[in-house]
Amino acid sequence: IQDLPGYRILLWQGGALANFLLPPVSGISPGVNHIFRNKYKMYEDWGRDVFSSVCVWPQVQIGLTLANAAAVKEVTSSRARFPKPTHDYRVLSFFGRNIVGSEGEEWKRYRKIAAPAFSERNNRMVWETSVKVVEDMFNLVWRDQDTISVDHCVDVTLPIALFIIGVAGFGRKVSWEDDEAIPSGHLLTFKNALHVVTTQVVLKLIVPDRLFGMTEHLRNVRLAFDELRQYMKEMIDERQNSDKGLKHDLFNSLLDANDVDDLSQRLTDDELLGNIFIFLVAGHETTSHTLCFAFALLALYPEEQDKLHHHIMGVLSDKTVPTYDQMPQLTHSMAVFNETLRMFPPVPTIPKISAEDTTLVTENSNGERQTIPVPKGTKIIINTVGLHYNQKYWHDPSTFKPSRFLGDWPRDAFQPYSSGARACLGRRFFETEGIAILTMLVARYKIEVKEEPQFVGETFEERKARILTTRPGLTLTPVRVPLVFKRRV
């Protein structure tokens, strides 16, 4: 890699220890959440849109971390040359092999099974489900209160996202009213089990199985894994024994794959569980966190919230409930999400590996093209955060400006969903639910940061830093976003 500047460290920068546990220690580890903390800074320091990493544990590894749009495009559009390092996805494969953590023929089989479920018919169902879930929240939970105050916005956005993937993805009947009841035969609610598994799954990588009985916390994590497995098995049994007739959701696509005559095309029980888990996780965590960051940004930038509200009022004929056919007109709601995903991409890094000796072309800080040698076996990290804060593509990148997505924008420099053959399959699913939820909420409520006595007198920048603090998780996670929703109508 011709002495390309970068990290020379003991621990691989993308590993669980380096990214989740250890502080920055020179020569050892770049520190927890270093990709999001540093954004484009490493590239400024090292003078180009790529930096190298050389580490020795858990094995000797060379890496190139990219924040250059052309180089990223080359990587995402050459699947054979830059496949996924499937070993890096084992954190998502505890319940079984699945579409996100596979490659080659195996991945093609999963994608062929899952892709048809993301149809226009399903999008319409996602929209209708989202409207119903939010209306129920207004009527059954928020009721006639003029002000709703929450200590952490994820407490609102997580159940919304979970109900929608439950209903529109898996035909699971859940409601705000019975959300907290533990069904007989279980020790945790479904929501709780899924939440513990998604937030604690990294422990499964670090702690050997035999130690999971040692502390109460570890026992709870083990219980959540067991409970979630049981819930998913019950969902399969229930659906297999019911009339699948008119349902066109994700679940039927996965189960129908098991009705084919060609045994080699069928999913094994583990593959079925693995893929159900992936859709549950992909379908709720990204959505919940993105909604939370969007609400936080709108609360911090009230003038942007006013513009959004004004636009929504111009589109909605009855001023409260948007229809699916109005979705293409809700351009400002879409722009708010794109800007939120630019600033807070839920998947900050997307790993690939070089399958051959090759090269990549990138740029130095003067905009001069540079050809970088890429030996076979090099890890290629697409740094969506670095790309999204690269001033070559985005003016004033730390400021929330949804209007940059109302005209034309540099598409190749916007990669929250990755791109090419391995791009996110649920992008439209998210956009549909997100626009419905945001539009309904902003039409009826004004979002503000909750005032708390201990923070009186803080500056805007301090408040912004506090509200928008993140930590690493399966996806980029907001730490604590205290908000107030004040009724407008």
Summarize as ranges the residues that interact with ligand HEM (CB under 6 A): 99-100, 111, 165, 169, 279, 282-283, 286-287, 290, 341, 346-347, 350, 416-418, 422, 424-426, 429-430
Q: Which backbone phi and psi does 349 adopt, to 5 degrees? A: -135, 140
Contact 79, 420 (CB under 8 A): yes
Q: How far is the CB of 453 from ligand HEM (least distance, A)?
A: 34
Q: Quickly list DSSP for 159-205.
A: HHHHHHIIIIIH-----TTTTTPPPTT-SS-HHHHHHHHHHHHHHHH
Task: For residue 446, count other CB atoms closer than 10 A to its CB.
Answer: 18
In the complex, the smallest distance separating the C-beta of residue 350 from ligand HEM, rounded to whole angstroms, is 5
| Contacts (Cβ under 8 Å, ≥6 apart) of 360 | 50, 64, 66, 71, 74, 75, 371, 372, 374, 380
Q: CA 83, CA 151: separation in Å to the nearest integer?
A: 42
Q: Least distance from C-beta 425 to ligand HEM, angstroms? A: 4
Q: Find the shortest distance in angstroms from Cβ 88 to ligand HEM.
A: 8
Nearer of residues 39 and 446 to ligand HEM, judged by Cβ = 39
**Shortest distance, position 339 Cβ to ligand HEM, whole Å:** 13
User: At 431, is the secondary structure helix, strand, or coil?
Assistant: helix
Take residue 46 and report the two structure tokens written for it: 């090292």
**List of residues 6+ apart from 487 with CB closer than 8 A:** 145, 146, 147, 444, 445
Q: What is the CA radius of gyration of the chain?
A: 23
For residues 138 and 279, which CB has a smaller minimum distance to ligand HEM in the complex? 279
Closer Cβ to ligand HEM, 4 or 437, answer by number:
437
Pick the closer one to ligand HEM by CB: 282 or 483: 282
- CB nearest ligand HEM: which residue? 426
Q: Of the two residues 29 and 275, which places its CB atom closer to ligand HEM in the complex?
A: 275
Beta bridge partners of 352: 380
Kindly tell me which of 212 and 337 has the beta carbon lying closer to ligand HEM: 337
Residue 69 amino acid letter: A
Q: Which residues contact 3 (CB under 8 A, 6 or more apart)?
A: none
| Tokens standing for residue 240 | 């297999």
To the nearest 10 degrees (0 to 180), the angle between helices 427-444 and 154-164 is 130
What's the min distance (Å) between Cβ of 162 and ligand HEM? 11
Residue number with CB closer to ligand HEM (169 or 322): 169
- Closest approach, Cβ 324 to ligand HEM, in A, equals 17
User: Exposure of 407 by Cβ count < 10 A (0-12 exposed, 13-18 middle, 19+ buried)?
Assistant: exposed
Tracing tokens 């589109």 back to the chain, one arrives at 315
Q: Which is nearer to ligand HEM, 426 or 472 (CB)?
A: 426
Least CB distance to ligand HEM at residue 154 (A): 14
The answer to whether the beta carbons of residues 442 and 308 sit under 8 Å apart is yes
Could you tell me the two tokens for 249? 């959701």
Which segments within 252-397 are labelled E, that is strand?
Answer: 349-353, 358-363, 369-374, 379-383
Q: Toward ligand HEM, which CB reaches closer, 4 or 66? A: 66
Nearest distance from residue 103's CB to ligand HEM, in Å? 9
**Residue that is written with structure tokens 């939120």 in the block:** 340
* Shortest distance in whole angstroms from residue 247 CB to ligand HEM: 16
> Closer CB to ligand HEM, residue 316 or residue 442?
442
